[in-house]
Structure 1
Amino acid sequence: MKIQKEIIDFEDGKSFKIFEPSMKHCFFWHYHPEIELVYVEALNGIRHVGKNISGFMESDLLLVGSNVPHLNFDYGIKTEYKQVVLQFKENFLQEMILPVPEFDDIKKLLDRSYLGLSFFGETKKIVAKKLHLIKEKKPFESLIALIEVLQILSQSTEVIELNKEDTRVKWFLNDKIRMGTIYDYINENYDKNPNVNIIAEMVSLSTPAFCRYFKKQTNMTFTDFVNNYRINQAKMLLLQNLGITEVCFQVGFESVSYFNKLFKKYIGETPTAFKKKHLSKIEN
């Protein structure tokens, strides 16, 4: 369950690979020297890149830099989904991009990718279509298409930086605590009453030391993280057209009014408004 270095194999004669992995039942907290572009379509999902842990709705397009720890983006998805992953070699930048002045914008994009970049709006729609087409192209044509995608991303203002500081793997190297153990405990107990004392003991820390460690890793308190996790699970259940009271208790809240209050705090709208807006999209 500890952080793993992924070894990526490329076909002979190719500087990048594009594929459609399915790993929703696997907790794969990992890093690799290769830069990665990921597009996921799902009703609801969770992204974890570096220190950032956040949810996405309907789809997400992410650029993850070299050696940035991240969780597989389909982890825990319980509905149908599609995923396209594009990875290119670590020397792609040095050998192809750096020497060419016309690629300056792409170079700046890749230099920023260590923060983890999430794209939205028209940029996401355009790039998603192009990623699906790249799989069908011949090697040279697919390389040109990749450069075109990177150019589009480099020019886009429809982007969010997920982290505000360097979270590449050197930041994690001395970390002997297994985040996977913590995730598994929360996943198994979020609908009950997750106990910070129990998980602290499981990872061999005192409760105060665990709270400091967890806040450093995630920029959230343990309670805030559990509530955020519950709300993300609630979104998925609401999209299955379950009642708000039923969803409230299923994800572990004991008060509907408190559930409504927290939902609006995290999502920006009430469960009723969220359900009405997004269910209509699905049914249409």
Structure 2
Amino acid sequence: MYEYENVSVEWADNTVRFDYVDRADERVPLDIPEHWHEELEINYTITGGNREYVIDGETEQMAAGDFVVVNPFEVHGVHRASRDTKSLLLLISRQFIEKFGPRLGNIRFILKPSIFMSADQQQAKAKLADLMLSVWQITKTNHEFRDDELIGVILQILSVMASHFGIENKHTVTDNVADTIAYVQRMYASELSLELLADRVHLSTAYFDRCFKKQTGYSVMQYVNKVRSMHAYQLLTVHHKGATFTATAVGFPSTQALNRGLKNNFGLTATALKNS
């Protein structure tokens, strides 16, 4: 959905992603349109000016030393990140949590900027910063037990977060919905329909669409068009592709359908986005 530069590798049987993000070579402020995924996202800003995180409609101003945690399936985006930003990004899959920390599967994490933290939470945040830096150092090593060491540190991160920033998660997503979300994010450019996606999980179209909307806030095809629109946004604004190419590349059947999707999600047509 968007690209991070520098280190981008898969760890622990493809259940963890870690990136060191250095924007020193970027020419314009970073803008990542709102999106979502099933992984738990932990982002630690090492250095840099303010950047704006929008998570489920709430805006937080993040600065050097701050953490932001995005829970699975939360809609989020990043806006106006300055060129001097250096950060560490950790994405932890549902498979990792189910395998190594199943009790954490029903926990939702809330990390606010430091001004809102208690003294204990401030200390916990400092420990999280050290642990994130440890993950970074481990990814640069090459020894037989590197993955085991990495798993141990990530479990420490999850333990600290659960102890100091965790609450019981009352919002659950069933396997059928989670599987469909992952499938759409992989196959968005293919021909997708409610009937095809419902058949994949062996449910009737009406029942599946109702369950999907109850759990995500979107109907199945609204979500498909949202994912396609996010990819279209990148092609139009970052890669400067034309509307016809973009529509075909992301799975919209026509430029009219592309423009409808963009208007619904960003309030602008393809032409307006390219000119903005």
TM-score, length of structure 2 as denominator length: 0.48
**Which fold has the larger relative contact order, with Cα–Cα distance below 8 Å and residues 6 or more apart in sequence?**
1
